[in-house]
Every structure is written in C-alpha cells, then in structure tokens.
Structure 1
Amino acid sequence: MTDQTLSHQPLVLVDTSTLSRDEWLDWRRKGLGGSDAAAVLGISPFRTARDLYYDKLGIVTADDQENWVALEMGNLLEPLVARIFEKKTGLKIYQRKCMFQHPAYPWMLADLDYLVELPDGSTAILEIKTTNYNAKDKWWYNGEEIVPIYYEAQGRHYMAVMGIDRVYFCCLYGNNEEETIIRHIDRDMSYEEELIALEDSFWHDHVLAKTPPPYTEDGDLILESLRRQLGPADKDAPPIAIAPPQFARVKQFLALREKKKHYDAEVTRLENEMARLKALIVADMGTSCKAVYEDGADSYTITFNPTRKVTIPKEMLERLREVHPDIYKEYAIVSISRRFDVKKAKPEAA
C-alpha cells in the first residue's frame, strides 16, 4: 500500500442527487461499494460472492426479488435515525449526494449515508442501520460492544475510499431514541490492506475476467443463492450424470452422515438421561412451580412453569378446509422446499 492510499482526497464519480434507482444501480456496477465488501470477504449473512458477481455483470436471476419492505423501511427511517444520532452525540452531520471513487483503485466506490463534523475539525463517516429487537444482540459479543463483522467490512471499505479515519454506526432497533445503538471504529491499515487486495482480486480475476468465484460460504446461504439463480425445481428434467471429481463430494457427504449417526446416538442417550433426571426433580417439586437450593457458596433456582400454546391439529385443519374453504385459502401458507438425499442403488439380480 502506497502513501497515496493512506491519505488522499477521493474522486467524485457521479452526482447521485437526480439519479433514478436503476441509474444508481448501473453506476454501482462500475465497481465495488461498501455493502459489497462483506460478500467479497465471505462474511456476508445475506449473499454469496457468486451473487455479487452476477449482480456486477447485470445478470438477471430466476428469482431476483429483494425484501423490498425492509429496504423501504430503512430508507424511510434513515433521516429519523440520523436526527437521533445528532441529538444523542451533539455532532453535526451533513450529506453529499454523490458516488465517490478511490483515486488509486478506481473500482473502489463509496456512496455514504452521512458525513460528520468532529470537534477537532476532522471528518468522520456515519452509517445508518435499522434492525428488529431480536437482532440487536448482534451488536454485542460476550458482553462486549462490537460492530457486526459484515458492517465493519463496509465501514473499513468507506474509510479506504475516503481517506477518513473514523466511521460511526447508528442502529435503531425499537420505536424510541433510547432503543438506539451507537458505535464507532477507527482505521486499521493492516485490515485495509488485506481488504483492498481481496477486492482487487475479486474485481479483476472474477468480474472483469467473467469467471464466477467458487462457493465458500455456509451451506444454507449457498442453497439460497442457488434458489435465486436457478428458480423452482423441474421434476421433468432428466437426471444429471455426475463425473468422478464431483462424486468425491458425494462420498464425503456419505462418510460424514455415517459419522453423524454415532454422534446422534450419543446425543439421544444424553437427552434421555437428562429427561429422566428432570422427571425426578419435578417429582421432588410436586405441584410447586419453583424450587431453590443454597449451600452457602452457591444458590440455584429451578422453575417448572405451565405454558399455554395454541395449535390447530392436522385433522381440524382438514375439517376447516372442507367446511370453510375460503377462510382456509386466505390464511393457509404453502411453502415449497427440496429434500436432499443420497441412496446407494441395490445391485440388479443376475
């Protein structure tokens, strides 16, 4: 990394104030933005590097529907969350409606939410986030305040493009200003150097070379990526013949499945023993919902509280469909999934 990449003024690629969403997306495809960094690093919980590759090439997949409600909510709440940040920190923020470009790496782009005026006269970046109450725990790890790693990658990409040393994150997870998380990270040159190298490789070795990157992410994310690319299953499609190199994966899958059976048996044994001990403890409690134990050094509370769960048995659902088909059709949700299995064919009789 040269001195030029450590302290510089970014270029302005385009004024975004009058761009339509489609025009803005076209400009984003001219390089890698901050929200792309996590996918390049393989740490995005939302999309794979292959998804990002297809997006940059403008390839339309069979199912390219985004969660437009969440996106729209984020856009609508952004000015409100920015006002909360100003009120809680006392810092002045402002916007520059343009797409920035790194002067040394023209494929590194940045489209910022806000910029922050710091008391010492320097500038920081502000990223606005919204989430739900359950997901707020991702901003802590073992009781320590953190920035989720996929947002950290975004912030460090922005600092690299802008030549700025600090990024603030303001995340709203509730419906009042107290349900807001504010964090900041400062520039880390070793992280930045590795990030630039990996982004450079992704852009030149995959996007420009039109060579799809390999799948390296978790299985569930890869399956979701494939669902978006391939669309629904075709039950009439002919079987696919797998070559020996690909069959190595099948053999590894079968070996792991056999290994898992042994672990499953042990887990079942432990669960059965835990259930037996639980029943004996409940027998000691009788009809009480609470028990306590103290030995001078430690104290324990055991609870066995009643819970109420409303369910509709399968036979009642069938009756509902027969008696009130309109109501059943209005509220019933049909989900489609695919079941994966590997079976060894029986040898044919001579």
Structure 2
Amino acid sequence: MSLNLNYKADVVVDTENLTREEWLDYRRRGIGGSDVAAIMGFSPFCTKRDLYYDKIGVKAAADEEESNWVAKEVGHRLEDLVAEIFSKKTGLTVYPIRKMFCHPDHPFMLADVDFFIAFPDGSTGILECKTTNYNCQEKWAGDSVPVNYEYQGRHYMSVMNINKMYFACLYGNNENEFIIRYMERDLELEEDLIAEEEYFWKENVEKREEPPYMEKPDLVLESIRKHFGPADKDAEQIKLPRKHLISIQNYLALKEEKAKLDSEAKKLEERMKESYVEIVEELGVSCSGVLKDGNTEYLVTYNPAYRTTIDKKSLEKLKINHPDIYEDYVSVSESRRFAVKAKGAA
C-alpha cells in the first residue's frame, strides 16, 4: 500500500455542543484513537472482540458500572490543566479544535484530538494529554510512551496528516511531577496500522464477523464474563465437543506440574523459616535489626501486618438483625473457578 500524503482531514461533526451519548454514537461509526490498541492487541482494558461488540451496538450482559470511571473523569477534567502545564514548560502555543475528524481516504478512521500545537516555524503538531497515578509513572520510563498511547498517537497523525506530536502526562499534584514525550510520524508503521484497522472495520464490523480472541487469558476471561453475564446454577449442563479434549488434557497435565512445583515451594518456605527463627528470637518485640559485615550492612525487618475481617457467622447475624446496614455495606462480586475431574481414570 502506497500512502497518499497530500490530503487534509475531513470534519465529521462539531463536538462542542454534543451530548455524551451523541458523541459516543459518532464514535461507533468508525475507529477512534483510543480504539486502536485493542485492534493491535495491546490494550490493557479490552479485547478486539469487546471493541467489535461496541461498534455493532451489542451491550455487555454484565452491564455493571465501570470500575475506572472516576479515573477517566479525572483525566478528562484535567486535560486543560495538563495542556496549560505543557505550554508553560515548553513555551509552545496549544489550542483546541472541538471537532471530530476522519481520514479522507479511510473514512472509518476518526480523530478527536485533545489539543493542537502551533510551532514557531508555522507547522502544526498534536498534543495528547494524559494523567496517571504516582505508581504508574514507570510505564513512561526511558523516554518511552506506553504502547497503547503510541498507537493512539500514530492513528491521530495519520488522520490529521501531521508529522509531529507530544504526549504530556501529569502523575502528581505539582507541575514538576510531569512527563513530556515527543514522537515523530513513522510511515512504515502507519501502513501496518491502517491495514489492521481496515481489516477490522471491513472484515469484522461491516461483515458482522466476530474477531477471534488473541489476548492474554485474564483479559479474555473477563470479556467472556461480561458478554455472557452472571453464572446461572440452574442452567443445563453443556455437552462439550471433542475439539476441547486436548485443552482439557493439557490443563490437567499443567495442574499436576503446578502441584509438584507448589510442593517444592512449600519445602523451600519451611527451610527459609528454619533459617530465620533464631533471628526472630533475637529481635524479640523489635521490628528491625542490623548486622554489619565489612562494607555490607544487612537490615532485617519483622513487621506486623494487621487485617480486619468479619467471620461468616457474624455476617449472617448482621444480615438478620440489621438488614438495612447489611445492604448498604455488603456487596457481592462474582468470580468463577475452573476445574476438571476425570471420572473413570485408571
């Protein structure tokens, strides 16, 4: 595929006065920047199958409130502040254009850009504003950009036909806890990106063909749970086809291997405890000790850990005697455990 570089992005809609539902409706008509990581298999939040369901309007059966809605709302509300800090630190002029754009050659490629940058030479760049917590700043280590954000940025540069962009990320509560990353357009990567997006849109979305699950197991299992909904203990037993036999046998073999490793790990833990019982006796009620050996200093800690729990019997009493309090403070979440029993095995 030879890329056409002589184009200007088309305007899909002015987003200034759109409601959130209207904006989401326009988003479902194509692929937005935050969708791309799922298509490329690098989203930490959803599978390609989840994205497919969203685009064709299939709602999850387990339609619980999003657990990270607060983080998303905080990120949205702080975009202007992040842009202001970026401008102050770089001296560059940034400005918003409240419109949704699309690629003229690939109209399914949409872009709703946070801010644009006016460079002194008259050229234009893109600014993508992010927020994260202090413990997640390592994802930006080594001048890198998290891969899901990188794909988002390359998608925007492609739609807008812009060659330069910055990412700005606030991870604390002052302007020094701030990350700035620069990225230039890569046409070779862009070709692959467009090809993957086009295949997803034309072969999956337009033809209503579910994409296969290719992501990490935990993400796939969560996707399946959301799609099918809560477990039904009264549902009929499913007769599994023989194609699953190899998977079952593989699971049982891995389970046996894990049991052996767990047994070895427990033995090692016992030996580790044997190695430090005398040290704990030496510490008494103290939580730390130190031992110096030449230039090496060993700091030993034996700190207490406290956990507040309520036993099952007390929980039942609370439910009977104070149902209003029970309903207010006790929540039930579902998790399912996979198991296999081989009956009639030798």
TM-score (norm 2): 0.89
Kindly indicate whether residue 35 of structure 2 is the aligned counterpart of residue 36 of structure 1. yes
Q: Deviations over 1:205-237 (max 9, x none)?
A: 211221101111112211211122111122221
Counterpart for residue 130 of structure 1 = 131
Q: Deviations over 1:85-140 (max 9, x none)?
A: 22232221111111222233222211101111123322221112223333333323
Aligned residue pairs total 343
1:1-350 alignment runs, 5 A limit? 1-5=1-5, 8-64=7-63, 65-66=65-66, 67-140=68-141, 144-321=142-319, 324-346=322-344
Judge which range, 280-289 or 240-249, deviates more: 280-289
Distance in 2, Cα, partners of 1:30 & 1:70 = 25
Judge which range, 288-297 or 34-43, deviates more: 288-297
Letter in 1 for 2:41: G
- Deviation of 1:318 after TM superposition, in Å, equals 4.7
Distance in 1, Cα, partners of 2:59 & 2:319 = 38
Q: Deviations over 1:258-317 (max 9, x none)?
A: 222222222222222222223233334455433334444533322223454444455554
Distance in 1, Cα, partners of 2:318 & 2:13 = 58
Distance in 1, Cα, partners of 2:330 & 2:28 = 40
- Deviation of 1:26 after TM superposition, in Å, equals 2.3
Distance in 2, Cα, partners of 1:214 & 1:42 = 11
| Aligned Cα root-mean-square deviation (Å) | 2.4
- For the 8 Å contact 2:166–2:181, the answer to whether it is kept is yes
Query: Alignment partner of 1:261: what SS?
Result: helix
Distance in 1, Cα, partners of 2:135 & 2:311 = 29
Q: 1:281 to 1:197 in 2, by over 3 A?
A: farther
Distance in 2, Cα, partners of 1:289 & 1:234 = 49
Letter in 1 for 2:290: V
- For the 8 Å contact 2:102–2:110, the answer to whether it is kept is yes
Q: 1:243 to 1:311 in 2, by over 3 A?
A: closer
Distance in 1, Cα, partners of 2:83 & 2:296 = 47
- Deviation of 1:19 after TM superposition, in Å, equals 2.6
Question: Where does the alignment leave 5 or more consecutive residues of structure 2 unmatched?
Answer: none
Distance in 1, Cα, partners of 2:62 & 2:318 = 33
- For the 8 Å contact 2:33–2:153, the answer to whether it is kept is yes
Question: Where does the alignment leave 5 or more consecutive residues of structure 1 unmatched?
Answer: none
- Deviation of 1:322 after TM superposition, in Å, equals 5.3
- Deviation of 1:54 after TM superposition, in Å, equals 0.8
- For the 8 Å contact 2:32–2:111, the answer to whether it is kept is yes
- For the 8 Å contact 2:125–2:164, the answer to whether it is kept is yes
- For the 8 Å contact 2:129–2:167, the answer to whether it is kept is yes
Query: Alignment partner of 1:291: what SS?
Result: strand
- Deviation of 1:17 after TM superposition, in Å, equals 2.2
Query: Alignment partner of 2:290: what SS?
Result: strand
Distance in 1, Cα, partners of 2:15 & 2:117 = 19
Q: 1:98 to 1:266 in 2, by over 3 A?
A: same
Judge which range, 169-178 or 111-120, deviates more: 169-178
Distance in 1, Cα, partners of 2:315 & 2:236 = 36
Distance in 2, Cα, partners of 1:281 & 1:187 = 58
- For the 8 Å contact 2:3–2:191, the answer to whether it is kept is no
Distance in 1, Cα, partners of 2:44 & 2:265 = 29
Judge which range, 69-78 or 311-320, deviates more: 311-320
Q: 1:9 to 1:300 in 2, by over 3 A?
A: farther
Judge which range, 43-52 or 284-293, deviates more: 284-293
Distance in 1, Cα, partners of 2:122 & 2:300 = 57
Q: 1:258 to 1:306 in 2, by over 3 A?
A: closer
